[in-house]
Structures are given as C-alpha cells and as structure tokens.
Chain A
Amino acid sequence: MHPAFSVIFLTTLIGAAQGLFLALVTAQVYAVDGILPAQEPGFYVQGSFIALVLLALGLVAAAFHLGKLEYFITRAWRGMSQWRTSWLSRELIALPIFMGLVFLYFAAHYAGLHEPLFTIGGKLAVDATLLIGIVGAVMAFVLYISTAMIYASVRFMQEWHSPLTVFNYILFGLASGFVLAAAFAATVGSDLVGFFTGWALIFTIASAVTRGASLYRNARIEHKSNLQTAIGVRHPRIRQKSMGFMGGSFNTREFFHHASDSAYDMMRYAFIALVFVVPVILLLLDAPLLAFIAQYIGLLAERWYFFAEAKHPQNLYYQSIA
C-alpha cells in the first residue's frame, strides 16, 4: 500500500492524545482514591489542552485524506451514516464524541466543577470532572478499537487482518500517550513523573512484543491469491506482459509504496530503534521529553511501514508496464 501522510499523522496524533488523556484520568482516579498525590486543577487543564491540540491536528490531517478539502464541510457528515457495517464510519462517530468529551473534561476542570456529585462506598467522592473523565476513557478505547479495526477488518490485506493490529494500535497509543504524560509532568514539575514513566515503559515494551509478533507473522505470511486465481488460468508459468496502459493509474499509485528495498528496510530498522529502544533508554535516563520526540518520530516511520508492508491482491494485476 501507498502510505498516505494524512493517515500517518492522523493515527499517530490521536493515538498519543488518547493515551495522554487516559494517563490524566488514571492519575485523577488514583488521586481520588488517595493512591497518588492530588494535583493542582491547572495540571488537568493544561494536560487535557495538550490532548485537545493533538486531536485538532489529527482532525486537520484527516481532512487531507478526503478527496477534496471541501468535502469536509459538504459531505463528511455522511460518513457517520453507515456505522452498522463500516468501521470507518464508526471511527468518524467516535472521534468527534471523544474530542467533545476531552473538551468537556478540560472545561470542567477549568470551571472548577469539583463539588462531589455522589460518593461511592462513603469515601470515593465523584465530581463532574471525574465522571466526564471516566466516560471519556471508555470512549478513548472505543476510538482505539475503531481506528485499528479500519485496517484489521480488511481481509484482503492479510498483513493487517489480525488481532495483532488492534493490540498494536492500542499499545502504541498508550505508550506514546504515557511518555508524553511523563514529559508533561516533568515540565510542570509534577510528582507524577515516576508513575507515568513506569507505565510508559510497560506499554512501550508490551508494544514491542505485539509489533514484533506481527512483523514475524507478516514475514511468513502466505498470500491467498496468485496469478493463477487472478486470471483463472491453470499454468505454473504466467507472466503479465501488459497491464493495459503505460503511464500509471490509480491502481499503481494507491497500492504500491514505490520505495526502494533499502529504503523499506531502513524504515523498519528506524522504527524499531526509535519506537522501542531509544525511548526506553531515554526514559531510564529521566529525559521523557526527548523520549517522546524520538518515539513520535519512530511512530511516523512505523505507520509508514505498516502501510508499505501490506500487499494487496490487486497488485497481481499491475505488474508490468507495456
């Protein structure tokens, strides 16, 4: 597949935003329970503002994936209509709902809505911010699953058609979000750096395991289709002499990555180093901001590779220019 920059930025930006939001809500839940020290309200206001900015940037990237930018205003709303059958439609619904909840979370903290609405077990005081936070956290997972299933549900892309794709999307989002949370906590001088760093390490290592498993799986994948089934001729030796045109078409542009073998391999090494190895070292060296920058760049490479890695059966029909 051709890696589209709109989708590479969209998925990495919102993944990190969801992870950051989940980190904030986790910290808040633990603080209410008294496990972690309580934070200033400003901590959640600033933190959720960063998440909102990332989500907004993701939305801008998404708009560039549409055929024309104007479709964003004129037609994109239609994309929410087929949620019964289409994971893409489900994502288009989940994303604005999640953005709305993050905004409400931000606004509620900003407005200081800390009056307990009710208490659980006589000691857990639940206020409006926490309630919104928990609903938002559930929505963050709905969004992770919707995003991942857009790819995992395409059975023709056998490299993607696996539960590993869903685990990868969730764990990459959580890893980058918690690394970002650690960086944010360090920047504002919060005492949560250690908590966020710990989980960032766990998620980063877990994502290395699941992505490693999908790399292993994809290197050994057996493709269902071949030239024999593509044209229905039973002969061991078939070669395409002409694909019917010479100057390329949508089918040659959209479904091939057009990168050299060495660039393709480089991307793999780059993302393995930048997503897993470098951030772990930097986190252990107490440099979470640098860790986030390295990991985010690595995730861009990972997403590029994720697309390039998938081989579509239609490519069988587009092999020879003449």
Chain B
Amino acid sequence: MTQLALVIDLNVCVGCHACVTSCKEWNTSGWAGPMADEEPYGKDPSGTFFNRVQMYEVGEFPATETVHFPKSCLHCEEPPCVPVCPTGASYKREDNGVVLVDYDKCIGCKYCSWSCPYGVRELDEYQKVMKKCTLCIDRISDETKPEAERKPACVLSCPTSARLFGDVHDPDSEVSVAIRENAGYQLMPEWGTKPANHYLPRRKTRIQIFEDELIRADNPLKKEEAVGEIIGDTIDDVAM
C-alpha cells in the first residue's frame, strides 16, 4: 500500500513561511477552499490554515538555538481522528493513505479535532466544517500536470528544499531514504498514531581534518628553508 507523506528537515528549515502562504494560496482557491480569514487587516487577524510554522528556543541563553518547526496534518497511519467521526466525513484514503474530510458530510461537531493530539485540524469559521492539510490531493493526483509539479504546493515553494514528499512505504523512495539515513522521527510517538509525516532532526555538520591536510607537505616554498644559511659571496657580490 502507498502512504504518501512529507518529510520535513529541521536542519534546513529557516522559518520563512513560504510553505504557509503557498499552501493557503493553492488551497483557498482550489478543491479545499475557501479557507476563510476573519479580520485579515484588523487587530486580531485569524483564519484557517493547513500549515503553520512555529518557533522554539532550545537551550539556556546564550547557548540557545532556534528551531523552526512547520506543522500540518501528519496523515497518521492509525488516525485517531477518523473512527470517532459520527458522519463518516473524516476518512483515510485506501489508495494513498491521505486523511481527508468530506465537506459535504461534515456537521462541524469538532469531535475529530478532540481526537487529534497534534492540533492540526481547524474548523473553518465561514463554511463551519472541519479542514486540514490535504497534501494538495487535487494537485498530486492531477494527471494533466507534468510529473514534477504533482507535488504539494508547500514542497514546491520551499526555497531551501526542507520539505520532501513521497511514499514512505516504498523503501527506495527519496523520503524513505532520508528518514533512514538521517534519523527521521515521528511526533508524539507515545500515542501510537504512527504519523506518516516524519521530521529530520537538527544535526551538526562535522568534518575531521588532520594537521598534515592543512599544511601542504611538499610546498616548494618550503624547499628554500631546507637550504640553510648562505656562505660566501654571491654572483652579485663579485660583480664589477
């Protein structure tokens, strides 16, 4: 079975919010839209977003580091939000594992949001139905688009390529390799939700260098040093 998912590299993300805005742009005008805004120019702007980028400070000043943390529905393999839905509006697709909401069935009871520990479902204040990341289902399954564009808007827009997209059940996919080789992990594993999305941890880039690699052993300039002190007249000394 295919399980589409995102892999987000926290070592690369710079917190620019490009994924947040491109997600909103694509989805508010597409199948999942509208994503209503309330008072977008007012004092307390609020609205529906499928993707948020948060910031965390780790460590004690001055030894602190900032972790930029993009967060959206993790398309859990055991999604607790699905069985609790009374209407069947909340479902997980058999063919690709994407968790979706059928907006024509949803009654806006919010019960599914209580059953998601990650806080990624948002009730749309205009349509009054539950909304969440669709992995741009209308984009990734659009066969009229060239293969390279059949990716979620956030993945395509990320300027640092911190977001990877693919099938985490295929061991040779880019995402599976990234998870395997870079210690990819899941959020809140304690709930057994088995999130499909993974995060790659912050990692230090270290290289090992030996002294003789910094100083070139056979540097021709060094040959002169080896000659030692000059004894006797030079040709200039004896010139007329």
Interface of A toward B, CB cutoff 8 Å:
1, 65-68, 71, 75-76, 78-82, 85-89, 92, 150, 153-157, 224-225, 227, 229-233, 235, 237-251, 254-255, 312-315, 317-318, 322
Contact = CB atoms under 8 A, between A and B. Distances in A.
Interface string B32-63: 00000001001111111100111111111000
Given A86-B84, A317-B118, A67 B55 contact: no
B48 A250 contact: yes
A66 to B, nearest CB: 5
B106 A67 contact: yes
Contacts of A81: 86-88
B69 interface: yes
B54 A92 contact: no
B108 A231 contact: no
Interface of B: 17, 20, 39, 42-49, 52-60, 66-67, 69, 71, 80, 83-89, 105-111, 113-119, 121-123, 125, 127-129, 185-191, 199, 201-202
A64 to B, nearest CB: 11
Contacts of B52: 243-245
A231 B58 CA distance: 11
A313 B20 contact: no
Nearest to A235: B58
A68 B202 CA distance: 44
Contacts of A71: 107-108, 128
Given A229-B189, A231-B67, A76 B107 contact: yes
B188 to A, nearest CB: 5
A233 B86 contact: no
B54 A232 contact: no
B104 to A, nearest CB: 8
B56 A231 contact: yes
Contact of B54 (A75, A88, A229, A317): A317
Given A81-B86, A92-B86, A254-B123, A313 B109 contact: no
Given A68-B128, A246-B45, A254 B110 contact: yes
Given A229-B189, A229-B190, A245 B56 contact: no
Contacts of A248: 44, 46
Closest 7 A-B residue pairs measured CB to CB? A67-B108, A314-B119, A67-B128, A244-B52, A85-B83, A247-B44, A89-B86
A67 B113 CA distance: 13
B86 A230 contact: no
Contacts of A314: 116-119
Contact of B185 (A75, A79, A87, A232): A232
Contacts of B129: 67
A81 B117 CA distance: 25
A243 B54 contact: yes
11 contacts: A81-B86, A82-B85, A89-B86, A229-B189, A231-B67, A231-B69, A241-B55, A245-B52, A247-B45, A314-B117, A315-B119
Contacts of B123: 67, 250, 254
B55 A78 contact: no
Given A239-B56, A312-B119, 10 more contacts: A66-B109, A87-B84, A154-B115, A227-B56, A244-B55, A245-B45, A246-B44, A312-B117, A313-B188, A315-B119
Contacts of A242: 54-55
B57 A241 contact: yes
A66 B58 CA distance: 41
Given A231-B187, A248-B44, A249-B122, A157 B114 contact: yes
B125 to A, nearest CB: 8
A101 to B, nearest CB: 21
Contacts of B114: 1, 154, 156-157, 312
Contact of B86 (A82, A229, A318): A82
Contacts of B20: 244
Contact of B122 (A156, A244, A250): A250
Contacts of A75: 87, 105-107
Contact of A233 (B45, B110, B117, B202): B202
Contacts of A235: 58-59
Contacts of A156: 80, 114-117, 191
Contacts of A150: 111
B105 A230 contact: no
A108 B66 CA distance: 71
A321 to B, nearest CB: 10
A155 B83 CA distance: 13
Contacts of B111: 86, 88, 150
Nearest to A77: B87
Contacts of A87: 84
A79 to B, nearest CB: 4
Given A225-B188, A243-B54, A250-B123, A78 B105 contact: yes
B119 A86 contact: no
